[in-house]
Amino acid sequence: MGIKHLMLLKKPDAFQLGVDDPNNAKVQKTLGLLGIGDSSKIPKGSQLVLAQLAFANSDLAFQGNHLFQGNFYGVSVYDISNPAKTSLLTTMVCPGGQGDPSVYKNLMFMSVEMPNGRLDCGTSGFPPPPPPAAGQEDKPPLPAAQKDRFRGVRIFDISDIRNPKQVAAVQTCRGSHTHTLVVDPNDKNNVYVYVSGTSFVRQSEELAGCSGEQPDKDPNTSLFRIDVIKVPLAAPQDAKVISSPRIFMDTQTGALNGLNNAGTHSTTGLTKPSDTNQCHDITVYSALGLAAGACSGNGILLDIKDPANPKRIDAVNDPNYAYWHSASFSNDGKKVVFTDEWGGGLGARCRPTDPNKWGADAVFSLDGNKLKFASYYKMPAAQGDTENCVAHNGSLIPIPGRDIEVQAWYQGGISVMDFTDAEHPAEIAYFDRGPIDPKMLVLGGDWSAYWYNGHIYASEIARGLDIFELTPTKVLTQNEIDAAKTVRVAELNVQNQQRIEWPRNLVVAKAYVDQLERSQAVPADQIASLRKAIQSAEASRLNKKDLAKLKTLAASLGSAAGGKSEADSNRLHALVDILNNPAK
């Protein structure tokens, strides 16, 4: 409903496991490259899922007519100059997972966290660690130190888009599960990268200064922090970690482990509180000087006016949340949507028996830099036992007058949520193609779904790249879709959220008129007059007579703006602004 599937581009052969039998020797070889030396106690089905993860598609970034699709085994670049005829430009093999990309001018950044990452992007990996000693199964040994291992953020020069060239590889102690590009409005010479590591801390023999101890044993522990990389644009090869902010610290006591999840749900009831020592994903909104961190056990709000030294200004937890995963701001910065990746994305978590508050979105209002819970949202269509499904990555759709997010739910597909009313979010469009295999859970589905310059692109973990467009429904008009398409950006890195600004076009005005009619905020006869006047102005290419008529209608609307809901009042003011001075 409301989404048309234009095409699916299959994954390049280089990014395919190529087998679906857990007993195939390639499965064991792949698990070894991932650092799993002894898989005998892992169920066969789970072994296959883990091996598939080594070739999974991950996140997306955009620049001009190019789409960058990350993969645990490298990155693919596509030409999207004609979205309905998207084509593959190049595939670069460079293992290490997750492979999340971002782009800025001539640079591409890639996250690397897994132990098979090599400085030279080689595919040979390293020997897996030995199995744990008897009685020590809960404390698996770390991989042996390797001078050629790479875990951190790779930086490529993409001036030649078909031949990315690695110019820097910034090592971090926990690697980079995800990263966030941060552009400081006051610093034109550098960009910053916030690094979120969620994996084990490597040995100090491999990278000096790394420590996986708890704070009471080592105050310099590599846990309970993020890393900040500074990248000189004129010399990206000089990129380096410049700070490791202790954003979980208790500011009163100085304890590094100052936040915890307050316990979460389990099969036996509420668990004991667990300290939060990592962020999974951070979304920055530099125009507001804020960031929202989805940090395993907590959702946090950061002040990033000094991007090298972000400071926590608020934090929330929720017993219904298993793992705070990602975040998005509304365009006006008055709401934040957090996601919960209950089950890590590898399990079926949207079944009829799964609670709607688990593995869902949580919508918060933001007032005075304080987060206040408003509601939950979970895609309403129940999924089966063989479909990995939970809330995952999404982006805003720039429909004026509404807060709309398109979001991936793995094999649950794509759901488009209207959260204009923070207390009553609702689905307005969706796409669901069904399970990859109705008899066995195979890792797949949409990892991320993002709107970019008029279309929705989704990174399908197992299948490839999906491309969609919105279609009108009773709750979404063609005018609203056309208004969204007026917003064009040169680059999109979703975790580096940019303020959306709409042109003063009459198509945007028509979207506001449709919304005011839907909410019954303006009488039907006035709606009819507005539509007639706008149509006449478009036909005459804004002659003086029609411009005067628009201004007359604007004056009558301006006097009626009081007493409306906040959303309708904002729509009226924006409509009046366009009618008084429409763009030619």
Tens digit of pLDDT for each residue in 416-431? 999 999 999 999 999 9
Residues 367-388 have a mean pLDDT of 97
Nearest alpha carbon to residue 164 among 63, 260, 82: 63
**Domain final position from 492, 518, 553:** 492
**Number of structural domains, the chain?**
2
For residue 36, give both structure tokens.
């799993």
For residue 43, give both structure tokens.
């169920």
Residues 172-177 have a mean pLDDT of 98
Quick one: 103 and 179 in the same domain?
yes
**Alpha carbon of residue 417 to chain centroid:** 15
Residues 185-198 have a mean pLDDT of 97
CA distance 136 to 139: 5
Does residue 120 lie in a domain region? yes
Single-letter residue type at 199? S
Quick one: 85 and 184 in the same domain?
yes
Q: Is the pLDDT of residue 388 over 70?
A: yes
Quick one: 471 and 448 in the same domain?
yes
Between β-strands 361-367 and 335-340, what pairing exists: parallel, antiparallel or unpaired? antiparallel
Residue 78: helix, strand or coil by DSSP? strand
Q: Is the pLDDT of residue 20 over 90?
A: no
Quick one: 435 and 321 in the same domain?
yes
Q: Is the pLDDT of residue 560 over 70?
A: no
Backbone φ and ψ of 83, nearest 5°: -55, -35
DSSP state of 351: S
pLDDT digit string, tens, across residues 266-305? 878 899 999 999 999 999 999 999 999 999 999 999 999 9
Does residue 476 lie in a domain region? yes
Nearest alpha carbon to residue 229 among 221, 220, 238: 238
CA distance 45 to 39: 11
Give the pLDDT score at 537: 96
pTM: 0.96
Quick one: 426 and 572 in the same domain?
no
Does residue 519 lie in a domain region? yes
Contact 108, 78 (CB under 8 A): no
Identify any residues that bridge with 451 across adjacent strands, giving them in sequence order.
456
Quick one: 479 and 533 in the same domain?
no
Quick one: 510 and 485 in the same domain?
no
Does residue 447 lie in a domain region? yes
Does residue 199 lie in a domain region? yes
- Residue of 390 and 559 predicted with greater confidence: 390
Quick one: 464 and 516 in the same domain?
no
Percent of residues, the chain, with pLDDT higher than 70: 99
C-alpha distances (whole Å) from 24 to each of 11, 12, 30, 44, 130 are 21, 21, 10, 11, 22
Q: Is the pLDDT of residue 19 over 90?
A: no
Does residue 42 lie in a domain region? no
pLDDT digit string, tens, across residues 63-89? 999 999 999 999 999 999 999 999 999
Proportion of the chain in helix, strand, coil states, percent, rounded to 5: 15, 30, 50
Contact 294, 339 (CB under 8 A): yes
Quick one: 174 and 218 in the same domain?
yes
CA distance 521 to 453: 30
Give the pLDDT score at 267: 78
Quick one: 290 and 394 in the same domain?
yes
Give the pLDDT score at 132: 77
For all residues of the chain together, what is the average pLDDT? 95
Contact 226, 198 (CB under 8 A): no
Q: Is the pLDDT of residue 404 over 70?
A: yes
Identify any residues that bridge with 102 across adjacent strands, giving them in sequence order.
109
Quick one: 560 and 422 in the same domain?
no
Residues 357-386 have a mean pLDDT of 97
Which residues 6+ apart lie within 8 Å of 58 measured at CB?
69, 70, 71, 72, 97, 98, 99, 100, 447, 448, 459, 461
Instruction: Report whether the peptide linkage leading into residue 98 is cis, meaning its omega lies within 30 degrees of zero.
Output: yes
Residues 542-568 have a mean pLDDT of 87
CA distance 402 to 571: 9
The residue with tokens 């009313």 is 421
Does residue 32 lie in a domain region? no
We report the CATH number of the domain holding residue 190 as 2.130.10.10
Quick one: 216 and 290 in the same domain?
yes
Q: Is the pLDDT of residue 138 over 90?
A: no
Contact 578, 501 (CB under 8 A): no
- Domain hosting 563: range is 506-580
Q: Is the pLDDT of residue 562 over 70?
A: no
Give the pLDDT score at 561: 60
Contact 257, 278 (CB under 8 A): no
Give the pLDDT score at 39: 83
**Domain final position from 429, 460, 492:** 492
- Specify the length of the chain in residues: 584
B/e letters for 31-44, b = 16+ CB within 10 Å, e = fewer, are bbbbbbbebeeeee
**Domain final position from 492, 527, 560:** 492
Does residue 195 lie in a domain region? yes
